[in-house]
Chains A and B, each alone.
Chain A
Amino acid sequence: MRVVVCVKQVPGTTEVDIDEETGVLKRDGVESKMNPYDLYALETALQIKERRGAELTAVSMGPPQAKAVIREAYMMGFDHGALFSDRKFAGSDVLATSYTISQGIRKLGLPDIVLCGKMTTDGDTAQVGPALAEFLGIPHIANVLSIIEINDKSIVVEMDMPGSVELAEVAFPCLLTVNKGIFQPRLPSYKLKMATKEREIPIYSLGDYEDQDESNYGLNGSPTQVLKIFPPEANANHQIWEDGGDVLIDKLHDKLRELKFI
């Protein structure tokens, strides 16, 4: 059995600030890290490997620095990795990102299971998984809460639905997006870190892909365009009451009365 897990490198903190005058994001020495939700997908794959035996590959699309997240997967026990990286991938939205990853995965050979995290802490759309499944032409189940059974040709999972929890069986090959908390992710191991230090991380670029039509990648392949980024606005219509003591309590009481809550 082969399992591919998609992991993304995200800024180390979401505490970004915007300079209100220039509209520029203020950041001082922001580091990058693995998208925390992807740790659950990695751990799910490791659990499958421990229960059934499986060959695990971690893949990421991003700049060359994103190798770091593949290396982290190695330190957790992954067998292989691949980075999909090309300047022509720049400016990708969800559609272009999932198409780029789908082409990369096809290059590696379609596995039995593709796993994604629930969402990321930067783009935060939770859409890449389902779109990727569409491009791979395989079924997907989103919001998987737990894995019940792994058979030779299928997997039985619990999925979170708005008003219910459903038990569903899906045939391989398939894609699952897993919820936070499905398993407790393990920490990277020092032993594995040493053992995999020399292990290569192959990089695939557009030239390696089956579809090399540039209009399907990066900004050209992205139907959505970010027009502007700005800080969330504060409520302009507000009053501050500093009267203190009973006056404040009376004022509050009267306001609640006026609004008909008491």
Chain B
Amino acid sequence: MASIKVKQIKVDDPQSVSSVCPFNAIDYDGAFKINAGCKMCRLCVKERPDIFEYVECQAPKIDKDSWRGIAVYVEHQEGEIHPVTLELIGKARSMAAKINHPVYAVFVGYDIKEKALELLLYGVDEVFVYDHERLKHFRIEPYTEAMESFINENKPSIVLMGGTTIGRSLAPRTAARFRTGLTADCTILDVQENTDLDQIRPAFGGNIMAHIHTPNHRPQFATVRYKIFDKPEKIAENSGKVTLCKLDCLSFDSKINVLSVRKKEKTKGIEDAEVVVVAGRGIKKESDLEMVYKLAELLEADVACTRPLIEAGWADPRKQIGLSGRTVKPKLLITCGVSGAIQFVAGMQNAETIIAINSDKSAPILKVAHFGLIGDLYEIIPGLCQKIEAVRKYGEPANVL
């Protein structure tokens, strides 16, 4: 808890002082005032310490030791566990080891008991199962109720959820019920010795990163999008257990009635590809995409595109990588004629190896790539395809002639 205190000194140019604030939160009407737009980013304090002061007030201290455990909400579709859950379990495990807390999984649904055993293979200490016919469909009130019951019974310090359409609906509702903080779509998570969660997330469309804390409330909620963290290895020996939770405290009341469920056709998405070749605007016309597909075929890769190509109708929108498209985390990603706009990079920066082909030495993608190739893609791609084919056919070049 804190506030910005203003020292009303005389300044020649109040406008320049107001403009220090990126949120237009500094008003001037003869005196400086902080308005409702303030986000407590403290930039004004840094820029004009002569005027602005950050004052910390005594906050009611909570007993952090009475909140133990890192809980992961199990995202699933009729028992089929979404892989983001495993990624979160992996993260939870590494953080839990630092503070010596248990890792929990909360599994809410119908006919899911068997599936719960699967989670133990990834090192969960205890899976709490809420299994009931009336939990068959995701409806917000009963699911929130189950989360509420879990939290009241187990008092976890941290609750992690996938940044999916379900997680983004359930997490804020549950966090609000406990009047605690939630940080959305974190890309980096770590835990301090005092169990405070360090949460780093992009905002402003990926143009800035914010480091966020929830110092005086428990549990600490965070959501993380799919493919941000690594999927953990199965562990050889698990000692975890599955606990079937009592349901008598749940009312299952809901004002929502699910009338029908239409499965989305399961096309293998670019999110699942191990190798991705990305075409950007360096590709001059649609027919030139041919060579990109050729390269992809040789590498057993999927082809994805930047937004301008999707907008031109050259590929299905599901093939778009970036902030307004998909997030991918393949083992290898090759960009061809992509400049590396921040909105694009937001969707691929976690790829294990990034190779960029670009004719412009100053293209921002070269800062992101592990290997930046300066050159004309119209030479490099066909050349590479030829080379791969030749080597496959004849072995190393020494033998070709």
Q: List, in ascending order, chain B residues with CB within 8 A of A231's CB.
A: 207-209
For chain A, what secondary structure do more than half of its interface residues adopt (helix, strand, loop), or is it mixed?
mixed
Q: Which of A70-78, A132-140, A187-195 contacts B (4 or more CB under 8 A)?
A: A132-140
Q: A63-B24, A167-B258, A225-B212 are in contact. Are A98 and B372 (CB under 8 A)?
A: no
Known: A95-B176, A139-B141, A164-B261. A250 touches B374 (CB 8 A): no
Cβ–Cβ contact B2 & A219, under 8 A: yes
Are B207 and A95 in contact (CB-based, < 8 A)? no
Contacting pair A224 B176 (CB below 8 A)? no
Are B213 and A225 closer than 8 Å at their CB atoms?
yes
Residue B137, interface by CB 8 Å: yes
Determine if B33 and A87 form an interchain contact, defined as CB atoms under 8 angstroms apart: yes
Judge whether B115 is part of the interface by a CB distance below 8 angstroms. no
CB contacts under 8 Å to B, within A81-102, are 85-95, 98-99
Q: How many A-B residue pairs have CB under 8 A?
A: 317
Bound state CA distance, A242 and B359, in angstroms?
Answer: 10
Q: Which residue of B lies closest to A127 (CB)?
A: B172
B residues 23-59 touching A (CB-CB < 8 Å): 23-25, 27, 33-41, 43, 46-47, 57
* Inter-chain contact A252/B82, CB cutoff 8 Å: no
- What per-residue 1/0 map shows which CB atoms of B147-190 lie under 8 Å from chain A? 00000000000000000111011111101110111111100000
* CB <8 Å contact, B180 and A227: no
- Distance between Cα atoms of A85 and B27 in the complex (Å): 14
CB pair A140–B169 under 8 Å, yes or no, is yes
A-B pairs with beta carbons under 8 Å apart, 16 shown: A14-B204, A17-B207, A23-B43, A24-B20, A94-B184, A124-B204, A130-B170, A134-B176, A142-B165, A143-B165, A165-B261, A166-B137, A166-B259, A166-B262, A223-B214, A235-B370
Query: Chain A residues in contact with chain B, CB under 8 A?
Result: 11, 14-18, 22-25, 27, 30, 32, 61-65, 85-95, 98-99, 121-131, 133-135, 138-143, 156, 159-171, 174, 218-220, 222-232, 234-235, 237-242, 244-246, 248-250, 252-253, 255-256, 259, 261-262
Contact present for A14 and B372 (CB under 8 Å):
no
B183 touches A224 (CB 8 A): yes
Chain A min CB distance to B178 (Å): 9
Q: Is the CB of A133 within 8 A of B258?
A: no
- Shortest beta-carbon distance from A157 to chain B in Å: 10
A225 in contact with B3 (CB, 8 Å): no
From A23, A128, A235, A253, B354 is in contact (CB under 8 Å) with A235
Total number of B residues with any Cβ neighbor in A under 8 Å: 111
B173 touches A167 (CB 8 A): no
CA distance A181 to B126 in the complex (A): 42
Within 8 Å CB of A227, what residues of B? 211-213
Name the A residues within 8 Å of B1 (CB-CB): 219-220
Kindly state whether residue B77 has any CB partner on chain A within 8 Å: yes
Taking the closest CB of chain B, its distance from the CB of A143, in whole angstroms, is 5
Closest 6 CB pairs of A and B: A223-B181, A127-B172, A90-B38, A234-B367, A224-B181, A125-B184
Contact B203 A262 (CB under 8 A): no
Q: Using Cβ atoms and an 8 Å threshold, which residues of chain A touch B43? A: 23-25, 229
Report yes or no: A170 in contact with B255, Cβ–Cβ below 8 A. Answer: yes
Give B260 Cβ to nearest chain A Cβ, in Å: 4
| Contact among B33, B38, B172, B204 for A16, CB-based, below 8 A | B204
Cα separation A22 to B1 with both chains bound (whole Å)? 24
Q: Select which of A125, A174, A230 is within 8 A of B185 by beta carbon.
A: A125
Answer yes or no: B366 CB below 8 A from chain A CBs: yes
Q: Which of B137, B165, B202 has the most CB of A within 10 A?
A: B165
Interface members, chain B 343-401 (any A CB < 8 Å): 345, 349, 353-355, 361, 366-375, 379-380, 383-384, 387-388, 391-392
Tell whether A131 pairs with B179 under 8 Å between CB atoms, given A239-B372, A242-B374, A252-B373.
no
- Determine how close the nearest CB of chain B comes to the CB of A47; give it in whole angstroms: 21
Task: Check if A169 sits within 8 Å of B208, measured CB to CB.
Answer: no
Pairwise interchain contact A249-B262, C-beta atoms closer than 8 A:
no
B169 lies within 8 A of A91 (CB): no
Give the Cβ gap from A26 to chain B, nearest Cβ, in Å.
9
Given A142-B165, A238-B369: A90 touches B25 (CB 8 Å cut-off): yes
B residues less than 8 Å from A65 (CB atoms): 24
